[in-house]
Amino acid sequence: MANSRTRDIVTRRVATRRVVFQPDTYQGLQRGINQMANAVRPTLGPRPRIVAIDRILDDKMPEMLDNGGIIVRRIIQLADRDEDVGAMFVRDVLWTLHDQVGDGTATAAVLLQSIFNHGVRYLASGGNATRLKHHLEQGTHLILDELSRISTPVSGPDQLAQVARSICYDASMAKLMGEIFDIIGEYGRLEIRPGRSRHDEREYVEGLYWDRGLVSRAMMADHTHTRTEFENGAILISNLEIEQPQQLFPALEVALRHNVRSLLIVANKFSDAAISFLLANRRPDKFQVVAVKTPGWGEQEQAWAMEDLAVLSAGRPFVKAAGDTFASIQPDHLGHARRVWADRRNFGIIGGKGDPRVLRQHIATLRAAHNQTDDIVLRDKLLQRIGKLLGGSATLWIGGVTELEIEERQEVAKRTAAAMRGAIMEGVLPGGGVALLTCQPALQARLDQSQDPDARAAYRILLEAMEAPMRAIAANAGFDASHAMAHVKLAGPGHGFDVTSGQVVDMDQAGIFDASGVLKAAVYAAIASAGLALSIDVIVHRKEQPTHASAKSPGKRKRL
């Protein structure tokens, strides 16, 4: 729109900074937003297209990506600085979304792009950016309420597998995900590891385990299975540092006096002298003792691990920071479990003797904290703790022909797992963009009621945007998006375009779902960010163009 002369007028150099005013602001932002959104758009849907990205550090073949969350991380700078601001704005939004819910980046990109482009057009014709942003926010609430209303719970391995397939588009992985999440539930512990064959495999482990192994190989009782295991064992929980064998005397005396036949000692450090002392005092037929280090990195994590162990086994933790020593140990300070095991890497307990009521209350408290906190890191830690306490875990071994394929599928599996948890917690919606179409009547009704031009523009923009994901999915799969949209509208509510068959189908019956939590997060992120971008009036550049390659810290999670 603006010629070079106009740009010279509106662009001023102020000392070491360059300040950009309208209309250059919108133009620059728009080019950047469109470039970033267009880079992610091809990945939307079950028939995504590939985005090839040149490698920076070597001259191997480009990375072939179909995951929007990963693609945006790879795009670290655009040459034009005005465009770069818009692109990095979108990158930040999508990166945060990916970290928070594991999926939905392409949907968010398409929505954001549609809303921003239509918004710019409206503002160029004289609309008010602040009022438009306000009405877009009102529309967000309306859409989120509609999505909540039509969300349905998901259960059973088959339905869960369908949800997984809608996320990862990988039939074998989806089948296992369905089975795994049917068993472990939304809070269950799932480890996703690189496999050793072409095929995906899963394994379930009973009981709880922590990633701390025996402090000495000599403590292994079963050398065939490289582990030691005992029944009805006692557990001494601490984060003390055992430098001298004498520190252990009171604990061992209490154990022996009370006929404890097997004892697991948990402490932050065991000196060589302490380990030698324990090994010397083992009597395989009368008294077994093994030692592991306190799980967790840092005081806080160790405190959490000790708390969980104590609740599970009815033991009392001995805490270094509180000045505890084993000198004051009483028999009831020892925890107990039906089975205790340890190997070089892990130790675990099965059937802890803690009060089940206390355990259930403890888990309920952790769940409440998990649901309430906005801190992503804390949420992950809480999820890990809850998963452990539920009494079992699953491991999914990802197969593949090459290391690269395994790596990529592992990333997809992690993303799918995160979205599956959200799907179980918040339910599912008809997939393929149909859920967003379902919001159109409510938006249309609000549009019809509104007299304010900015409000009417906002609802019209949102009405248009609700179609954007379905159009992108159809176009990515090689279909005429307008043709597909027309047939879907003709078929009525709940119907969508299945790009794998090229047919208009009932999405519920076809088992094509979106995780409700993911879609709502994508909608919220897209509309809020587009509204914010539309209200940007001036860009101030630093002298040096910033680099954006370094990892950002996870953002806060917005509760919807």
Q: Which residues bind other proteins (CB under 8 A)?
A: 155-157, 182-185, 188, 204, 206, 231-232, 338-339, 351, 355-357, 359-361, 363, 389-392
Please, what is the minimum distance in Å from the beta carbon of residue 157 to other proteins? 7
Please, what is the minimum distance in Å from the beta carbon of residue 158 to other proteins? 11
C-beta of residue 177 within 8 angstroms of C-beta of residue 473: no
Which residue's CB is nearer to other proteins, number 243 or number 355? Answer: 355
Which residue's CB is nearer to other proteins, number 159 or number 302? Answer: 159
Which residue's CB is nearer to other proteins, number 392 or number 554? Answer: 392
For residue 149, how far is the Cα from the chain centroid?
24
Q: Which residues have C-beta within 8 Å of that of residue 554, sequence separation ≥ 6?
A: 96, 99, 100, 376, 377
Please, what is the minimum distance in Å from the beta carbon of residue 221 to other proteins? 14
Which residue's CB is nearer to other proteins, number 250 or number 351? Answer: 351
Which residue's CB is nearer to other proteins, number 230 or number 347? Answer: 230
Which residue's CB is nearer to other proteins, number 192 or number 311? Answer: 311
Cis preceding linkage at 295, omega within 30: no
**Separation of alpha carbons 340 and 230, rounded Å:** 5
Which residue's CB is nearer to other proteins, number 157 or number 554? Answer: 157
**Separation of alpha carbons 134 and 136, rounded Å:** 5
Please, what is the minimum distance in Å from the beta carbon of residue 392 to other proteins? 4
**Separation of alpha carbons 337 and 348, rounded Å:** 10
Please, what is the minimum distance in Å from the beta carbon of residue 341 to other proteins? 12
Pinpoint the alpha helices (H) of 427-515.
434-438, 440-449, 453-465, 468-476, 481-491, 507-510
Please, what is the minimum distance in Å from the beta carbon of residue 183 to other proteins? 4
C-beta of residue 132 within 8 angstroms of C-beta of residue 457: yes
**Separation of alpha carbons 365 and 367, rounded Å:** 5
Task: Tell me 195's DSSP state.
Answer: -
Please, what is the minimum distance in Å from the beta carbon of residue 390 to other proteins? 5
Q: Which residues have C-beta within 8 Å of that of residue 304, sequence separation ≥ 6?
A: 296, 381, 385
Q: How many CB atoms lie within 10 A of CB 348?
A: 21
Please, what is the minimum distance in Å from the beta carbon of residue 348 to other proteins? 13
Which residue's CB is nearer to other proteins, number 107 or number 313? Answer: 313
Phi, psi for residue 112 in degrees, rounded to 5: -60, -45
User: CA dihedral in degrees (211, 214, 216, 220; nearest 10)?
Assistant: -130
Please, what is the minimum distance in Å from the beta carbon of residue 156 to other proteins? 7
**Separation of alpha carbons 296 and 304, rounded Å:** 8
Which residue's CB is nearer to other proteins, number 95 or number 187? Answer: 187
